[in-house]
Structure 1
Amino acid sequence: MFTCRNQSCGADWQLSDVVIHNEGQGLLFRCPMCGARNYVTRQKDAQGEVSYEQVKDVPPYGKH
Protein backbone atom coordinates (compact mmCIF):
# COMPACT_ATOMS: atom_id res chain seq x y z
CA MET A 1 0.00 0.00 0.00
CA PHE A 2 1.23 3.48 -0.89
CA THR A 3 0.06 6.74 0.70
CA CYS A 4 0.21 10.09 -1.04
CA ARG A 5 2.60 12.30 0.91
CA ASN A 6 0.80 15.49 -0.11
CA GLN A 7 -0.53 16.64 3.26
CA SER A 8 -3.84 17.84 1.87
CA CYS A 9 -4.40 14.55 0.00
CA GLY A 10 -3.11 11.51 1.92
CA ALA A 11 -4.95 9.04 -0.33
CA ASP A 12 -4.04 5.35 -0.11
CA TRP A 13 -3.23 3.37 -3.28
CA GLN A 14 -2.39 -0.20 -4.21
CA LEU A 15 0.46 -0.94 -6.63
CA SER A 16 -2.13 -1.75 -9.30
CA ASP A 17 -3.56 1.80 -8.93
CA VAL A 18 -0.33 3.68 -9.72
CA VAL A 19 2.26 3.85 -12.51
CA ILE A 20 5.86 3.76 -11.29
CA HIS A 21 8.36 5.46 -13.58
CA ASN A 22 11.45 7.66 -13.59
CA GLU A 23 11.04 11.37 -14.41
CA GLY A 24 14.80 11.93 -14.11
CA GLN A 25 14.87 12.22 -10.32
CA GLY A 26 14.46 8.55 -9.43
CA LEU A 27 11.56 6.13 -9.32
CA LEU A 28 8.24 7.64 -8.35
CA PHE A 29 4.52 7.50 -8.85
CA ARG A 30 2.23 10.46 -9.23
CA CYS A 31 -0.84 10.37 -7.04
CA PRO A 32 -3.85 9.60 -9.30
CA MET A 33 -5.94 12.04 -7.24
CA CYS A 34 -3.72 15.13 -6.82
CA GLY A 35 -0.67 14.51 -9.06
CA ALA A 36 1.93 14.82 -6.27
CA ARG A 37 5.25 13.02 -6.72
CA ASN A 38 5.79 10.10 -4.35
CA TYR A 39 9.20 8.42 -4.45
CA VAL A 40 9.73 4.65 -4.27
CA THR A 41 12.64 2.22 -4.22
CA ARG A 42 12.77 -1.04 -6.15
CA GLN A 43 13.86 -4.34 -4.58
CA LYS A 44 14.43 -7.71 -6.18
CA ASP A 45 14.43 -10.88 -4.06
CA ALA A 46 16.44 -14.07 -4.60
CA GLN A 47 13.66 -15.53 -6.77
CA GLY A 48 13.69 -12.47 -9.05
CA GLU A 49 10.42 -11.03 -7.76
CA VAL A 50 10.36 -7.22 -7.95
CA SER A 51 8.67 -5.15 -5.27
CA TYR A 52 8.45 -1.45 -4.53
CA GLU A 53 8.59 0.38 -1.21
CA GLN A 54 7.59 3.98 -0.69
CA VAL A 55 10.42 6.28 0.40
CA LYS A 56 9.47 7.78 3.74
CA ASP A 57 12.55 9.95 4.44
CA VAL A 58 11.73 12.59 1.78
CA PRO A 59 9.76 15.48 3.28
CA PRO A 60 6.08 15.52 2.27
CA TYR A 61 5.18 17.54 -0.80
CA GLY A 62 5.10 21.27 0.02
CA LYS A 63 7.26 21.03 3.16
CA HIS A 64 10.87 22.18 2.90
Structure 2
Amino acid sequence: MSETESFVCRNQSCGTPWEQSEVVIKNEGQGPLFRCPLCGARNYLEQFEDDEGNVVYEQVDGKPFL
Protein backbone atom coordinates (compact mmCIF):
# COMPACT_ATOMS: atom_id res chain seq x y z
CA MET A 1 0.00 0.00 0.00
CA SER A 2 1.47 3.38 -0.97
CA GLU A 3 1.79 6.36 1.36
CA THR A 4 -0.40 9.41 0.92
CA GLU A 5 1.68 12.22 -0.56
CA SER A 6 1.15 15.71 0.73
CA PHE A 7 2.21 18.90 -0.99
CA VAL A 8 2.61 22.51 0.14
CA CYS A 9 1.87 25.50 -2.05
CA ARG A 10 5.21 27.17 -2.86
CA ASN A 11 3.60 30.62 -3.13
CA GLN A 12 5.24 32.47 -0.23
CA SER A 13 2.04 34.28 0.74
CA CYS A 14 -0.01 31.05 0.66
CA GLY A 15 1.88 27.99 1.92
CA THR A 16 -1.28 25.88 2.23
CA PRO A 17 -0.74 22.12 2.66
CA TRP A 18 -2.69 19.79 0.35
CA GLU A 19 -3.14 16.05 0.12
CA GLN A 20 -2.64 14.59 -3.36
CA SER A 21 -6.35 13.68 -3.45
CA GLU A 22 -7.23 17.39 -3.06
CA VAL A 23 -5.36 18.66 -6.13
CA VAL A 24 -5.53 18.05 -9.88
CA ILE A 25 -2.18 17.00 -11.33
CA LYS A 26 -1.73 17.85 -15.00
CA ASN A 27 0.88 18.86 -17.56
CA GLU A 28 0.66 22.40 -18.93
CA GLY A 29 3.73 21.97 -21.13
CA GLN A 30 6.38 22.22 -18.39
CA GLY A 31 5.98 18.80 -16.82
CA PRO A 32 3.57 17.62 -14.13
CA LEU A 33 2.20 20.25 -11.78
CA PHE A 34 -0.78 21.17 -9.69
CA ARG A 35 -2.34 24.58 -9.28
CA CYS A 36 -3.06 25.53 -5.69
CA PRO A 37 -6.84 25.34 -5.20
CA LEU A 38 -6.64 28.40 -2.93
CA CYS A 39 -4.37 30.86 -4.77
CA GLY A 40 -3.88 29.28 -8.23
CA ALA A 41 -0.06 29.18 -8.05
CA ARG A 42 1.76 26.55 -10.12
CA ASN A 43 3.52 23.92 -8.03
CA TYR A 44 5.84 21.65 -10.00
CA LEU A 45 6.21 17.92 -9.47
CA GLU A 46 8.44 15.06 -10.60
CA GLN A 47 6.82 11.81 -11.66
CA PHE A 48 8.27 8.46 -10.59
CA GLU A 49 7.20 4.83 -10.40
CA ASP A 50 7.34 3.03 -7.07
CA ASP A 51 8.49 -0.58 -6.62
CA GLU A 52 4.99 -1.82 -7.47
CA GLY A 53 4.77 0.18 -10.71
CA ASN A 54 2.42 2.84 -9.34
CA VAL A 55 2.89 6.44 -10.45
CA VAL A 56 3.95 8.69 -7.58
CA TYR A 57 4.74 12.41 -7.49
CA GLU A 58 7.31 14.38 -5.54
CA GLN A 59 7.13 18.15 -5.25
CA VAL A 60 10.13 20.15 -6.51
CA ASP A 61 11.25 23.69 -5.78
CA GLY A 62 10.82 26.07 -8.69
CA LYS A 63 10.45 25.05 -12.32
CA PRO A 64 11.88 21.70 -13.43
CA PHE A 65 14.81 21.68 -15.83
CA LEU A 66 13.56 20.10 -19.05
TM normalised by structure 2 equals 0.81
Count of residues in Structure 1 that have an aligned counterpart in Structure 2: 58
Once the two structures are superposed, the pairs formed by residues 1-64 of structure 1 within 5 Å of their partners are 1-56=6-61, 58=62
- Please provide the CA RMSD for this pair: 1.2
Flag structure 2 segments of 5+ consecutive residues without an equivalent: 1-5
Q: Which has the higher contact order (CA 8 A, sep 6+)?
A: 1
TM normalised by structure 1 equals 0.84
For residue 14 of structure 1, report the CA deviation from its aligned partner: 0.2
Instruction: Indicate the SS of the match to 1:16.
Output: helix
Flag structure 1 segments of 5+ consecutive residues without an equivalent: 60-64
Q: Which runs of 4+ in 1 moved over 2 A?
A: none
For residue 46 of structure 1, report the CA deviation from its aligned partner: 3.0
Instruction: Indicate the SS of the match to 1:39.
Output: strand
